[in-house]
Amino acid sequence: MRILLLEDDADIGAWTSKGLGAAGHVVDWIENGREALIAASTRDYDVLVFDRMVPDLDGLSALRTLRGARINTPMILLTALGAVEDRVEGLEAGADDYLSKPFAMSELLARITALSRRGHGEGDAPATKLSHRGLELDLLSQTCTCHGTAVPLNPKEFRLLEVLMRSKGRIQTRAMLLERVWDINFEPSTSVVETHMSRLRNKIEKPFDAEYIRTIRGSGYMFID
Amino acid sequence: MSALRQAMALSLAFLVLLSIGGLVLDDIVTEEFRAETEADLREEFQQISAGFRRDGAFPREIDTAHVFSDRGIGYAVLLADGTVLGPVQPEAFDLRGFDILEGEALFEPEAYEALERIFELLEEDDSDGQPIAPQQELFDVEFEAEADLGWRIYAGPVLDGVLIVYAPGISAFGSDLTTVILFFVILLSLPAIVVGLIFGLRAQRRLNHIGAGFDRIADGDLSVRLAPARVRDDIDELTVRIDGATEKLAASIRQMSDFSANIAHDLRTPLTRLRLHLEESERAEDPQAHSAAAIEQMDNIIAIFAAIQRIARLKGHDRRDGFRTFSLAAVAVQAHDIYEAVAQDAGQDLSLRVEEDATIQGDQSLVMQLLANLIENAIRHAGEGAVITLKVVGNVLSLSDTGPGIPEDERDRVLDPLYRLDRSRTTAGAGLGLAMVKAIADLHEADLQLMFGPGGVGLTVQVSFPPGMAPSKS
């Protein structure tokens, strides 16, 4: 994927572009908001990764300008530690995702992957059913069957499985799951994700002796393709 | 020294005003007196001359005992043959109309001497009407003055002679008044300055006291209190306010230093572990595991900082602009959905009771975090087998657990960032949960109360949101 990275800090910029490069992406790293705005509006990128606080023209203003010009390239905004309220502002300005510093490379990679699929119209017609290897989710009736047997899932377990199945083959980090399934934007101090994940797996894997979900250590979870 | 200077300036201003007032008064009185004397002189002149005209002749002689009339006016006559009746020098009869003459120019030397003596003696002893000088009967004096001062006269022809009437000049009385005023000014100036000095010095001392106190506060001594035991005036009230400000400052500094100490303490553990893992990763057979563990410790540290920063921003920010209306019960249901399983895994029971829903104004995701922090606190500290109850009664949200609770005297302090009960030092968490709860409650102007749980067991945390709108019927 072709990624435009706007980051003024030399160390973080180098580390980020190296990490993205190692994952097979092509990265243009720019340190100045004005130049990033020009690059984003003249060249074709799959994903933009903008730091909020950069000299000249900050990431948020650049984002607003881009969206104002109907350039809808998916964007991840990077922000300083703990700035929760900035999240809302960023999303309202048209950011597709939001990541606060410091972040793990796996988190950024997972989010970029998720974004690029979204940007390129995954599932052109909204699916009413998701199925894979005998596991079937009916999105209309909110029911789950495994090899024909009904599996009773509570709404949150259903939503968790749906998010995982929709992004099968790609990692969903704990933070991404918290946001998407439970709408939580903070880091819980108890093992919320693990608990629900193990309940879900007890329902869909154990009785059928199958493995649908894989735990990726230090990153998150992945629905096996 | 401004207070002292001010008091002195006020005293001086008082004296100057008094002097000016005195001079003006002097002027007015003198003028009045002069006009009156002139009128009296003229009237006396007319009466006497009318008498002479009626008689058609001057008296043979003027009895010196009657030189002065009741009004303190005397007269003398120059006859056509040049004889002078009365103690007046012949030259004085050359004048016409009003005039002022020195005593020496007006009176015969002998009479003048007698006058001088009389006035001298009068001044020494004016207590009674006894004849006090051998020749006092020359002048039946009814006024106090000095003989050598200007005398006012009125002279004019009567029949074939000249009549002259005279009275002590205004300057006699006038100078007397000026002296009196000057005397009072001098007499008053001393006490005025003394009183000014006393008040000035007192005010100055109080200001110096406050100033010195401020210097000590600026030097970091926040135990300084300036207010006196009894508050009497504006300055005292000011000191009371200064004391209040100092007290608040001391409290927030204490909290801040506690906070710093707690940060240092709480960061020590993950930092030590981080260091160990980094050291081990060089030597150990499984460096991967150690660097993963190091990252985990790093994440702990970052989480502590993120929470501190969030609290700071919540405290410093006014986010009420972004408030929306939402159902309190809906958030409680969501929290219950998330944590019921987590509590179960910890061997606890988390139940939800909604007795009455309410719609409140706020930031839903922050209220969610408030609830999450409370529930996670209960899960972590209430121990296995505990029963945790989440309750919504109108706009009051409460969470009770059957754990060990929090001692009453520590309930306020657990709301401080990073404050932790001694026994919870060993359990996970950074001691920021309740501080964040407090910050979020404050932002929503909600009242936060920590109390015993039902039946005096465990802990109940109650958050009373300000009454919002009534739940919509739709």
- Closest in B317, B319, B376 to A188, CB measured: B376
Answer yes or no: do A43 and A72 share one domain: yes
Answer yes or no: do A40 and A10 share one domain: yes
Residue of chain A whose Cα is closest to the Cα of B371: A188
Q: What is the CATH number of the domain that holds A28?
A: 3.40.50.2300
Q: Who wins on pLDDT, B5 or B340?
A: B340
| Token pair listed for B38 | 């002139």
Does B292 contact chain A (CB < 8 Å)?
Answer: yes
Please tell me the total count of domains within chain A: 2
Distance in Å, alpha carbon of A193 to nearest chain B alpha carbon: 9
Answer yes or no: do A43 and A76 share one domain: yes
Answer yes or no: do A170 and A193 share one domain: yes
Answer yes or no: do A37 and A63 share one domain: yes
Answer yes or no: do A23 and A109 share one domain: yes
- Closest in A185, A190, A218 to B379, CB measured: A190
Answer yes or no: do A148 and A55 share one domain: no
**A188 domain residue, yes or no:** yes
Residue in this structure with the two tokens 């995954």, named with its chain if needed: A122
**A124 domain residue, yes or no:** no
Report ipTM for this prediction.
Answer: 0.78
Answer yes or no: do A217 and A154 share one domain: yes
Q: Who wins on pLDDT, A28 or B365?
A: A28
**A61 domain residue, yes or no:** yes
Distance in Å, alpha carbon of A210 to nearest chain B alpha carbon: 23
Answer yes or no: do A105 and A143 share one domain: no
Answer yes or no: do A94 and A160 share one domain: no
Q: How far apart are CA B170 and CA B98, in angstroms?
A: 13
How many CB pairs below 8 Å do chains A and B form together?
A: 72
Does B379 contact chain A (CB < 8 Å)?
Answer: yes
b vs e for A111-130, b when ≥16 Cβ sit within 10 Å of the residue's Cβ? bbbbbbeebeeeeeeeeeeb
Secondary structure of chain A: what % helix, strand, coil (to 5)? 40, 20, 35
- Closest in B292, B305, B376 to A82, CB measured: B305
With CB atoms and an 8 Å threshold, state whether B338 touches A182. Answer: yes
Q: Which of B359, B311, B328, B319 is nearest to B445 (CA)?
A: B319
B321 pLDDT above the threshold of 60: yes
With CB atoms and an 8 Å threshold, state whether B309 touches A82. Answer: yes
Full residue range of the structural domain in which residue A153 is found: 129-223
Does A186 contact chain B (CB < 8 Å)?
Answer: yes
With CB atoms and an 8 Å threshold, state whether B295 touches A104. Answer: yes
| Token pair listed for B52 | 């002479």
Winning range, highest mean pLDDT, from A17-21, B225-229, B292-296, B423-427: A17-21
Answer yes or no: do A108 and A14 share one domain: yes
Does B376 contact chain A (CB < 8 Å)?
Answer: yes
Confidence of residue B141 (pLDDT cuts 50, 70, 90): very low
Residues 6+ away with beta carbon under 8 Å from A2: A25, A26, A28, A44, A45, A46, A47
Q: Who wins on pLDDT, A9 or B189?
A: A9
- List the single range of B36-45, B337-346, B465-474 with lowest mean pLDDT: B465-474
With CB atoms and an 8 Å threshold, state whether B372 touches A186. Answer: yes
- Give me the domains of chain B, ranges plus CATH numbers: 2-176 (3.30.450), 234-316 (1.10.287.130), 321-464 (3.30.565.10)
pLDDT for the residue numbered B209: 87
What is chain B's alpha carbon radius of gyration, rounded to the nearest angstrom?
52
